[in-house]
């Protein structure tokens, strides 16, 4: 009788308090990843993905136990996070070089999730580390905000949202992003405006010209914004190099340079977080005024621009797409306000705001 009563009690209790179901997602490589509960002790394979977590969590620092210094946050963004979340200095380093991670360091932190990038997927050393980490019982999920940003950024954000219990926040940003992307795509689809030829000069400096883009990343942004990436003809990979003579011969309708604070030491284009308008203008004018660059029709016609390079690894690139669409087709997109889009991301989604100069041009 006592056993029957106990069994009945347990049955009723189970009805009132159902067991929590496992969380299972399919990551960007179509791998199944299962957690018993939302992850709150994460290791990031790319440090800058902390700011991506920040789009869906008010305190992303509290979720991160370790990170790899490769592709880390830029200094002004790191300073902004440190000012609001001093615990950021307790995040442990689990690797520093390109495509390297210490399996031992990750395992020692006992995280409930390791987030890796699609860029890591084909590297044998990274695969070995991932296998060791999974063998220790630590789930690994792959995301991608870089290789194919428009195809994979929102699915990746949803993956992170599901794995960290922030599905609603991820969906809110996804809707914000999709509305703006659809506006650009739909308006171009309904227009017969020709696609101008565009040359993207990445990590731009007048010396050692010119690194450029072939497929993925900025190429996708150019295409979506209604331009034609001229370098896709000669750069078969994500990035390639051409001579200044090639650039002059191609004579694109638009010349777009990318830069960041990392380019100051090379005398290149300085843009981005922590950069004021005067510093950006001086570096941009020096670039487009250099011999060879000053001969480009795009420069002479007021169709040269500079943009922050680090738009390339975060869903905030939607603001860049708007900027490029408005640059290539000013009449068609006269109502777009990419600065307002970026400001809304910072105030509505991100836990920190960082001042800077994100783009610049020579329009008269």
Asked if residue 176 belongs to a domain, the reply is no
Asked if 30 and 159 count as a contact pair (C-beta separation under 8 A), the reply is: no
CA distances from 132 to 14, 29, 107, 333, 342 (A): 37, 18, 9, 50, 40
How many Cβ atoms are within 10 Å of 89's Cβ, its own excluded? 9
How many Cβ atoms are within 10 Å of 143's Cβ, its own excluded? 26
- Same-domain check for residues 241 and 133: no
Asked if 67 and 50 count as a contact pair (C-beta separation under 8 A), the reply is: yes
Amino acid 93: pLDDT: 94
Asked if residue 258 belongs to a domain, the reply is yes
Asked if residue 174 belongs to a domain, the reply is no
- Same-domain check for residues 105 and 211: no
- Same-domain check for residues 31 and 114: yes
Asked if residue 185 belongs to a domain, the reply is no
- Same-domain check for residues 317 and 212: yes
User: Is the pLDDT assigned to residue 98 strictly greater than 80?
Assistant: no
- Same-domain check for residues 275 and 314: yes
Asked if residue 281 belongs to a domain, the reply is yes
User: Is the pLDDT assigned to residue 7 strictly greater than 60?
Assistant: no
CATH code, domain carrying 355: 3.40.50.1980
Q: Please, which pLDDT band fits residue 216 given cuts at 50, 70 and 90?
A: confident
In angstroms, what is the C-alpha Rg of the chain? 23
Domains contained in the chain, number: 2
User: Is the pLDDT assigned to residue 19 strictly greater than 80?
Assistant: no
- Same-domain check for residues 149 and 229: no
95 vs 254, residue with greater confidence: 254
Asked if residue 145 belongs to a domain, the reply is yes
User: Is the pLDDT assigned to residue 81 strictly greater than 90?
Assistant: yes
Any long-range contacts for 330-335 (C-beta under 8 Å, 24+ apart)? 332/187, 332/188, 332/191, 332/193, 332/226, 333/184, 333/187
User: Is the pLDDT assigned to residue 40 strictly greater than 70?
Assistant: yes
- Same-domain check for residues 62 and 211: no
Asked if residue 178 belongs to a domain, the reply is no
Which domain, by its residues, includes 28?
19-165
- Looking at 165, 180, 209, the residue that finishes a domain is 165
Q: What is the pLDDT of residues 114-156, one digit of tens each?
A: 999 998 898 888 899 999 999 999 999 999 999 899 999 999 9
Asked if 136 and 126 count as a contact pair (C-beta separation under 8 A), the reply is: no
Integer Cα distance of 306 and 286 in angstroms: 12
- Same-domain check for residues 105 and 232: no
What pTM was computed for the model?
0.91
Neighbouring residues of 38: CB distance < 8 A, sequence distance ≥ 6: 23, 163, 164, 165
Residue with tokens 């087709």: 329
**251: buried, middle or exposed (CB in 10 Å: 19+, 13-18, 0-12)?**
middle
- Same-domain check for residues 143 and 269: no
Amino acid 9: pLDDT: 42
Helix (H, G, I), strand (E, B) or coil at 279: helix
User: Mean of the pLDDT values across residues 176-205?
Assistant: 97
Distance from first CA to last CA of the chain, Å, rounded? 91
User: Mean of the pLDDT values across residues 22-33?
Assistant: 96
- Same-domain check for residues 95 and 133: yes
- Same-domain check for residues 199 and 240: yes
Asked if residue 249 belongs to a domain, the reply is yes
Helix (H, G, I), strand (E, B) or coil at 210: coil
Average model confidence (pLDDT) for the chain?
92
Structure tokens at 325: 């669409």
- Same-domain check for residues 32 and 160: yes
User: How far from the centroid of its chain's Cα atoms is residue 160's Cα?
Assistant: 14
Amino acid 238: pLDDT: 79
Q: What is the pLDDT of residues 276-319, one digit of tens each?
A: 999 999 999 999 999 999 999 999 999 999 999 999 899 999 99
Share of the chain above pLDDT 70, in %: 93
User: Is the pLDDT assigned to residue 11 strictly greater than 50?
Assistant: no
């Amino acid at each position: 009788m006592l056993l029957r009563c106990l069994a009945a009690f347990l049955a009723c209790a189970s009805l009132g308090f159902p067991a929590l179901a496992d969380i299972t997602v399919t990551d960007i490589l179509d791998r199944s990843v299962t957690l018993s509960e939302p992850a709150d002790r994460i290791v990031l394979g790319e440090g800058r993905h902390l700011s991506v977590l920040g789009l869906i969590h008010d305190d992303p620092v509290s979720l991160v136990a370790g990170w790899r210094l490769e592709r880390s946050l830029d200094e002004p963004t790191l300073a902004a996070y440190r000012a609001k979340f001093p615990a950021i200095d307790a995040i442990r380093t689990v690797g520093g070089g390109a495509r390297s991670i210490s399996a031992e360091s990750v395992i020692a932190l006992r995280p409930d999730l390791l987030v890796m990038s699609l860029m890591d997927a084909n590297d044998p050393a990274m695969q070995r580390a991932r296998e060791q980490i999974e063998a220790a019982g630590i789930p690994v999920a792959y995301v991608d905000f870089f290789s194919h940003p428009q195809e994979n950024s929102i699915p990746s954000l949803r993956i992170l949202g599901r794995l960290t219990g922030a599905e609603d926040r991820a969906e809110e940003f996804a809707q914000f992003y999709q509305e703006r992307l659809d506006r650009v795509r739909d308006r171009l689809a309904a227009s017969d405006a020709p696609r101008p030829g565009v040359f993207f000069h990445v990590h731009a400096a007048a010396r050692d010209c010119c690194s450029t883009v072939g497929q993925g990343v900025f190429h996708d942004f150019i295409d979506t914004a209604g331009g034609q990436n001229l370098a896709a003809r000669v750069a078969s990979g994500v990035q390639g190099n051409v001579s200044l003579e090639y650039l002059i011969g191609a004579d694109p309708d638009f010349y777009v340079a990318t830069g960041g604070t990392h380019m100051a030491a090379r005398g290149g284009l300085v843009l981005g977080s922590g950069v004021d308008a005067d510093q950006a203008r001086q570096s941009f004018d020096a670039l487009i005024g250099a011999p060879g660059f000053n001969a480009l029709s795009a420069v002479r016609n007021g169709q040269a621009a500079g943009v922050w390079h680090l738009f390339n690894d975060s869903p905030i690139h939607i603001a860049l797409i708007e900027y490029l669409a408005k640059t290539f087709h000013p009449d068609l997109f006269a109502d777009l306000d990419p600065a307002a889009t970026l400001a809304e991301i910072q105030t509505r989604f991100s836990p920190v705001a960082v001042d800077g100069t994100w783009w610049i041009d020579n329009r008269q």
